[in-house]
Structure 1
Amino acid sequence: MSLPAEHANDASSKEESATKTGISPRYMVALFGGMTGALAVFCLGLLGLSTTDNLPPPAFSNSLCVDEKLSFLRERPVTSPNLLVVGSSVAWRHFDGAAIVNHDPSARPLNGAFCGLHANQSAYVANWLLDREPTIKQVLMIVDPQDFAGCWKIPNEVFNRDDADQYVYGQASRWGYYMRYFSPGSLVRNSLSVKDQRANRIEFDPLVFDRFGDGPLMTENSRGLLYGRPEPLDQTCFDALTALSERLHQEGRSLTVVSTPLHPDWKAQQDPTGTFLADFDRRLVSALASTNAQYWNGDKEWTATPTAFIDAIHLRWSAAQDFSAALAKQLYLAKASNDDRHEERLASTTP
């Protein structure tokens, strides 16, 4: 039985149109079906990883330790913090909030340090948290020389602030961010280790946080010096510190910068004359000179033996606790000094 002429013409016209565009209806159905199937498999995979605690956080920065810290800030917020800690891994690993509170019960520390940051990136994170946490009165930045090299080639933005705001402070659903920051390679790679890191089963790279956001390195072992010759210091890094210092000064908040202890063997090998570290010390002081920020050279003024370190720059937790106890005294002095300056300003403006 033959089709009516008009139906045959319509079918012929559709075939000709499909031929001209190069896309057939069957191809489109297969394409969208495949996309829907892939999305379903992806979502089921995320649910499966979540059920077994193998699901990494959304890849806001594509750095597992940074993204996991954002998840900590979301899930275990510190209420009304008045002391903010910023910096790279030495600030995250070397600060013990409990030691600070023991020395000053009025302190409410928030460790907002992230691993692997350069000084310009630490300033970016500090500005974000200062905007979100108005109760912060005192900022502590713990640094090492590696933080102040190569800032010129590293973007300031560690993550998108708007997305971090919604995720951390807005409690937005996490699932959409797995699509927005779709990175299957890092998702698979991180899913193989994140459960063990969270359980402190990866000795030198745990993702364990205490109630303040500190990241203890609880190991009795060491991994050698690990770090070689430091890169040249970059003025861009010090400029970022100056800008942060000036902001805090204008807002009446105090800043204390602390250079972390360094392994004595590493210093003997890489800076035998002390010239490099003396220049680092001088440039930190210079970067803070336009404000009332305090600087404490923890490398010079706090004695650390080789057994205190797991590598050239990282302290094991027992040593970090002792270092924090000494640091608490410096913070107390800085706080008292800032309070005195505040009272002087009030007195000078009172009729």
Structure 2
Amino acid sequence: MQPTAQPQAAPAGRAAMGPAYLIWMGVGLFGSLALFASLILGLRVTGNLPPPAFSNSLCADEKLGFMREHPVPTPNVLVIGSSVAWRHFDGQTVAERAPGVRPLNGAFCGLHANQSVFVANWLLDRETTVEQVLMIVDPLDFAGCSTVATAVFDRRDADAYVYGQGSAWLPYMRYFSPGSLLRNARTVKAQRAGQVEFDPLVFNRYGDGPLDTQNSRELLYGQPEPLDPTCFAALDSLAQRLKREGRPLTVVATPLHPQWKAEHESRGLLLAEFDSRLRQTLAHSGAQFWNADTDHRISETAFVDAIHLRWSAAQALSVDIAARLAPASQMAVVQRQ
């Protein structure tokens, strides 16, 4: 008869390693969380804490943070677009010129047209008092839409952060990126104080971003890329939505620096195409279009670079924009129809 095999005991080293391994894992996890919390709190105390990286774009994420902390009560005009919409619209001027108008500047920097439409749809779903939409654009917004992701951020996370008043700390864990966090921490305090002349992160009560400087810089923007049909399709989708909902849409093509046009658009072919395609796209919905690049009188001294206006020029442009918005009384009638 074969002797019965006896079960072998686990090696003493392995048995002892089990509990110790779990303990050290817990210590490491707790230590990492403590280090993370210390970093976030330390940056907050010194005023160097960037916003959570929902979009991984400092100026866009800062706009979400501003909207969380400074909501505009019952806005009835929504402004959308890229940096030209953020910096070329003065809500105070428009509110004074068009009584009853309560603007919310929902523009984010660096967006392509399809991304601006994504943001517009998000805000229209959340800001239910909005009765009309203003989109300020330039030709650069309507290039490359098919090559970028339409969603600028996760809508559910942005909802919880901006409108749900969810935790201000959990997004730092979910979107933690040490490199960008530390890089942005070096500049965000000065940007918020308006000390970075051409890249301030300063907002007024309406969410506008004044570029308040008397100086100019290089034109910066080179040869424009070809216009992308995907961009115009996105604009058409927004225009059709607003038409169904009875909310007027106004699109304004912002003024461009004459020198930039002379260097890169001397024949005017792309700008003529841009004007034509905007008009054709908006004709399907009856939206209003104003080409301020051709119709708004402005000098070279109004520009900070090829496409951005200094604040005094943006205020003058806003006077003309106010005249083209639907009066508050008309908006109310449209909404009831």
1:228 to 216, 222, 227: 222
2:206 to 197, 204, 212: 212
Aligned letter for 2:88?
Answer: H
Distance 2:326 2:305 in 1: 29
List per-residue Cα deviations over 1:143-190 (Å, max 9, x = no partner).
000100000011110000001101000000110111111111111011
**Secondary structure, in 3 states, of the residue corresponding to 1:225?**
coil
Cα RMSD after superposing both structures: 2.0
Match of 1:246 in 2: 240
Match of 1:129 in 2: 123
**Secondary structure, in 3 states, of the residue corresponding to 1:177?**
helix
List per-residue Cα deviations over 1:238-271 (Å, max 9, x = no partner).
0000000000000000100000000000001101
**Secondary structure, in 3 states, of the residue corresponding to 1:329?**
helix
Query: 1:178-189, aligned counterparts within 5 Å?
Result: 178-189=172-183
Match of 2:10 in 1: 13
Are 2:131 and 2:331, in contact at CA under 8 Å, matched by a contact in 1? no
Give how far 1:290 is off: 1.0
Aligned letter for 1:149?
Answer: A
Match of 2:188 in 1: 194
1:281 to 239, 259, 275: 275
Give how far 1:25 is off: 3.8
Distance 2:318 2:85 in 1: 11
Distance 1:332 1:273 in 2: 35
Aligned letter for 2:217?
Answer: R
Pair 1:308-2:293 in alignment: no
Match of 2:286 in 1: 292
Pair 1:151-2:145 in alignment: yes
Match of 1:265 in 2: 259
Are 2:75 and 2:102, in contact at CA under 8 Å, matched by a contact in 1? yes
List per-residue Cα deviations over 1:94-152 (Å, max 9, x = no partner).
00001101111201000000000000000000000000011101100000001000000
Distance 2:330 2:269 in 1: 31
Query: 1:68-107, aligned counterparts within 5 Å?
Result: 68-107=62-101
Are 2:194 and 2:200, in contact at CA under 8 Å, matched by a contact in 1? yes
TM-score (norm 1): 0.90
2:319 to 325, 334, 346: 325
Distance 2:271 2:207 in 1: 29
Are 2:212 and 2:311, in contact at CA under 8 Å, matched by a contact in 1? yes
Aligned letter for 2:257?
Answer: H
Aligned letter for 2:322?
Answer: A
1:32 to 26, 45, 48: 26
Pair 1:116-2:110 in alignment: yes
Match of 1:54 in 2: 48
Distance 2:286 2:270 in 1: 25
**Secondary structure, in 3 states, of the residue corresponding to 1:13?**
coil
**Secondary structure, in 3 states, of the residue corresponding to 2:250?**
strand
Distance 1:274 1:304 in 2: 18
Distance 1:34 1:200 in 2: 40
**Secondary structure, in 3 states, of the residue corresponding to 1:295?**
strand
**Secondary structure, in 3 states, of the residue corresponding to 1:241?**
helix
Q: Structure 2: where are the runs of 5+ without partners?
A: 1-6
TM-score (norm 2): 0.94
List per-residue Cα deviations over 1:174-212 (Å, max 9, x = no partner).
101111111111110111110000000000000000000
Identity %: 60
Give how far 1:16 is off: 7.2
Give how far 1:27 is off: 3.3
Distance 2:331 2:279 in 1: 18
**Secondary structure, in 3 states, of the residue corresponding to 2:223?**
coil
Aligned letter for 1:57?
Answer: P
Distance 1:192 1:258 in 2: 36
Give how far 1:336 is off: 7.7
Distance 1:128 1:81 in 2: 15
Match of 1:4 in 2: none
Distance 1:293 1:27 in 2: 66
**Secondary structure, in 3 states, of the residue corresponding to 2:298?**
coil
Distance 2:187 2:82 in 1: 22
**Secondary structure, in 3 states, of the residue corresponding to 2:255?**
coil
Give how far 1:32 is off: 2.6
